[in-house]
């Protein structure tokens, strides 16, 4: 990598940021596409967020990713927010404009592009979303005009109900429903695509799964875990053992980064280029 007076700076704001794989994605993309840019992690405390946004703009930082815990809190400090990010209620990408940063959400289109790249057909499927956090909300909005039915299964029922109500309201039809985690056995009579959005099973708790009952997995045709560390979660193992296909969240991570890179640089990353970055990500895990 050559850094000179024309090198443009991009980065990630979050806390913590030590384990992020985003620099691998963006610095590899810069290398492949021969862009003179560098991508760095910036650890930002909650209390410093507004100053960090102002400071980044003053320093000429061309674009930023935003991660936990700032995805929602950063929105008031932006000049403008894209319609999709407003609907999801979270921003993970800032694009520099003359007046300030414009916020986007590339997590959701990233997941959709990841699914398409694995030839996964979402349209017309019955989908169970495990969890009702920020990402589950984004996934539910991604699916409202594609899935036949969306069931949000969560430990805290009220959170699942709130998302289902918002999605139904937005969709203008009753497409989403909420079920408490303890009632998962009521969902064993149909075939599903299951998207696992909870933190359960994440490193260093690889032996955990939200539902350990093997019978639940018999009806999962496709299981998609948004966790990418470990690459093979207990949820994925249980899906495979029961005869279903299972995927981890590494491709979602890849494509949310690629879409941000495309927004920043006004370019299109090819499948071959995406595959090169994916290989490097796998080596880094
Ligand atoms: P969040 O808002 O904190 O939500 C976490 C969800 O997990 C909540 O619904 C919570 O249930 C549930 N949960 C956590 N621990 C649980 C437990 N022990 N038992 C039962 N339920 C539990 O988190 P988020 O922002 O949505 O992120 C969720 C996951 O997505 C993370 O694992 C993150 O790594 C992953 N992610 C992946 C990518 C990617 O690119 N692949 C991008 C973003 C996020 P309650 O509502 O009952 O508390």
Ligand 1 binding pocket mutation candidate from 93, 129, 198, 251 (most atoms within 8 A of CB):
198
Choosing from 35, 46, 71, 218, which is the catalytic residue? 71
The predicted pLDDT at position 236 comes to: 98
Buried b (16+ CB within 10 A) or exposed e, 97-130: eeeebbbbbbbbbbbbbbbeeeeeebeebbbbbb
Q: 133: how many CB neighbours lie within 10 A of its CB?
A: 14
Nearest CA to ligand 1 atom 12: 198
> Which of the listed residues 12, 181, 197 should we mutate to test ligand 1's pocket, taking the one with most ligand atoms within 8 A of CB?
197
Distance of CA 231 to the CA centre of its chain: 15
Please name the residue whose Cα sits nearest to atom 48 of ligand 1: 156
The Cα 100–Cα 212 span in angstroms is: 48
CA distances from 27 to 8, 62, 67, 137, 249 (A): 12, 14, 18, 30, 20
Q: Which residues have a Cβ under 8 Å from the Cβ of 101 and sit 6 or more positions away?
A: 53, 56, 57, 64, 78, 79, 94, 95
Other CB atoms within a 10 A radius of the CB of residue 58 amount to 8
Collect all residues with Cβ–Cβ distance below 8 Å to 114 and sequence separation of at least 6.
Answer: 247, 251, 252, 254, 255
Give pLDDT tens digits along the chain (285 positions).
789 999 999 999 999 999 999 999 999 999 999 999 999 999 999 999 999 999 999 999 999 999 999 999 999 999 999 999 999 999 999 999 999 999 999 999 999 999 999 988 899 999 999 999 989 999 999 999 999 999 999 999 999 999 999 999 999 999 999 999 999 999 988 999 999 999 999 999 999 999 999 999 999 999 999 999 999 999 999 999 999 999 999 999 999 999 999 999 999 999 999 999 999 999 998
* Residue 200 Cβ contacting ligand 1 at under 6 Å: yes
Is 71 known to be catalytic?
yes
CA of 95 to the centre of ligand 1 (A): 26
Answer yes or no: is the C-beta of 249 below 6 A from any ligand 1 atom. Answer: yes
92, exposed or middle or buried, with CB in 10 Å at 0-12, 13-18, 19+?
buried
Q: Can you name the residues that pair with 176 across neighbouring β-strands?
A: 150
User: Model's pTM, two decimal places?
Assistant: 0.94
Ligand 1 atom at minimum distance from 67 CA: 43
202 Cβ closer than 6 Å to some ligand 1 atom: yes
Nearest CA to ligand 1 atom 30: 197
Nearest of 83, 139, 151 to residue 112 by alpha carbon: 139
């Amino acid at each position: 990598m050559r850094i000179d007076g024309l090198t443009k700076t991009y980065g990630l704001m979050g806390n913590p940021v030590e384990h992020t794989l985003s620099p691998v994605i963006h610095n590899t993309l810069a290398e492949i596409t021969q862009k003179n840019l560098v991508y760095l992690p910036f650890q930002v405390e909650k209390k410093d967020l507004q100053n960090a946004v102002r400071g980044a703009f003053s320093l000429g930082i061309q674009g930023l990713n935003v991660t936990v815990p700032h995805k929602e809190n950063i929105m008031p400090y932006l000049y403008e927010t894209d319609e999709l990010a407003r609907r999801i209620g979270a921003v993970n990408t800032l694009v520099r404009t003359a007046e300030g940063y414009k916020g986007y959400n590339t997590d959701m289109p990233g997941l959709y592009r990841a699914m398409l790249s694995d030839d996964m057909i979402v349209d017309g499927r019955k989908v169970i979303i495990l969890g009702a956090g920020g990402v589950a909300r984004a996934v539910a909005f991604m699916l409202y005009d594609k899935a036949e039915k969306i069931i949000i299964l969560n430990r805290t029922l009220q959170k699942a109900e709130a998302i289902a109500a918002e999605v139904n309201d937005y969709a203008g039809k009753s497409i989403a429903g909420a079920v408490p985690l303890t009632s998962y056995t009521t969902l064993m009579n149909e075939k599903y695509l299951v998207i696992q959005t909870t933190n359960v099973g994440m490193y260093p708790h690889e032996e955990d799964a939200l539902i350990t009952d093997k019978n639940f997995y018999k009806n999962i045709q496709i299981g998609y875990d948004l966790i990418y560390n470990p690459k093979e979660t207990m949820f994925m193992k249980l899906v495979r053992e029961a005869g279903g296909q299972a995927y981890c969240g590494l491709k979602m991570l890849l494509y949310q980064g690629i879409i941000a890179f495309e927004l920043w640089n006004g370019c299109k990353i090819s499948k071959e280029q995406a595959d090169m970055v994916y290989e490097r990500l796998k080596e880094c895990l």
